[in-house]
Chain A
């Protein structure tokens, strides 16, 4: 299957700093990528849909100025958590769809801890 990578796999930062998470499709071009957040023992919550070359579409309740998404190429989307606070600590997962059936493949996730 298609491979999606994320970097970093984990990050610890101080409150008030910004953190950038990268999502790459390694062996295919992804027109659309998705960003999710998952709190412990909960399901994935869709944050935004990212389309190459256009602005991301955010889910209701997700602050677009806080979670900046850039999808500059067909293989890379980035999520920047700006002015991070402890409540932003979570597991962030990206995914990308490929093929005519929109098969969805996930990255391994990034665990963010804000102190």
Chain B
């Protein structure tokens, strides 16, 4: 079974809107990482949040972590068509992936 499970599986929004996707995991972690994958390409590392951090920002990305609920969220603000991709989370110690969230940003 996967350690990280993303939700929703698919998300379609208009350019300029914000996109929020969630990740749940099962066991204790030291850190959680979010990745983006464009169709047919490798994964791009977006952001790493440590277990003692609650929120982290990088450009238009905002990641939160709630270790009590074993969940994380990724917020993309002011989305662009170029943000269209699949997004995955993964935790340290277990490199298995969930199905990901397929984000479509319509121009």
Give me the interface of A with B, judged by CB distance under 8 Å: 1, 6, 34, 36, 42-46, 49, 91, 93, 95, 101-109, 111
Q: How far is the CA of A43 from the CA of B2 in the complex (A)?
A: 11
Q: Which of B31, B45, B95, B100 has the most chain A CB atoms closer than 10 A to its own CB?
A: B95
Interface residues in B88-106 (C-beta closer than 8 Å to A) = 88, 90, 92-93, 95-100
Which secondary structure dominates chain B's binding surface? Answer: loop
With both chains docked as a complex, state the minimum distance between the C-beta of A30 and any C-beta of chain B, in angstroms. 13
- Are A104 and B97 neighbours in the complex by a CB distance under 8 Å? no
- Are A109 and B42 neighbours in the complex by a CB distance under 8 Å? yes
Give me the interface of B with A, judged by CB distance under 8 Å: 2, 30-31, 33, 35, 40-45, 48, 50, 88, 90, 92-93, 95-100
Chain B residues within 8 Å of A49, by CB: 95
Chain B residues within 8 Å of A91, by CB: 40
From the candidates B30, B42, B48, B98, name the one contacting A106 in the complex (CB within 8 A). Answer: B42
- Are A103 and B48 neighbours in the complex by a CB distance under 8 Å? yes
Given contacts A43-B88, A43-B100, A44-B88, contact A102 B42 (CB under 8 A): no
Q: How far is the CA of A6 from the CA of B99 in the complex (A)?
A: 23
Cβ contacts A to B, 8 pairs, < 8 Å: A43-B98, A44-B88, A44-B97, A91-B40, A93-B42, A101-B48, A106-B42, A109-B42
Q: Which of B88, B97, B99 has the most chain A CB atoms closer than 10 A to its own CB?
A: B97
- 13 new A-B contacts, CB < 8 A, other than A43-B2, A93-B43, A102-B92, are A42-B99, A43-B97, A45-B97, A46-B96, A93-B42, A95-B95, A101-B31, A102-B31, A104-B33, A104-B95, A106-B45, A109-B42, A111-B40
Chain A residues within 8 Å of B41, by CB: 108-109
Q: How far is the CA of A91 from the CA of B42 in the complex (A)?
A: 9
- Are B92 and A101 neighbours in the complex by a CB distance under 8 Å? yes
Question: Which residue of chain B has its CB nearest to the CB of A110?
Answer: B42
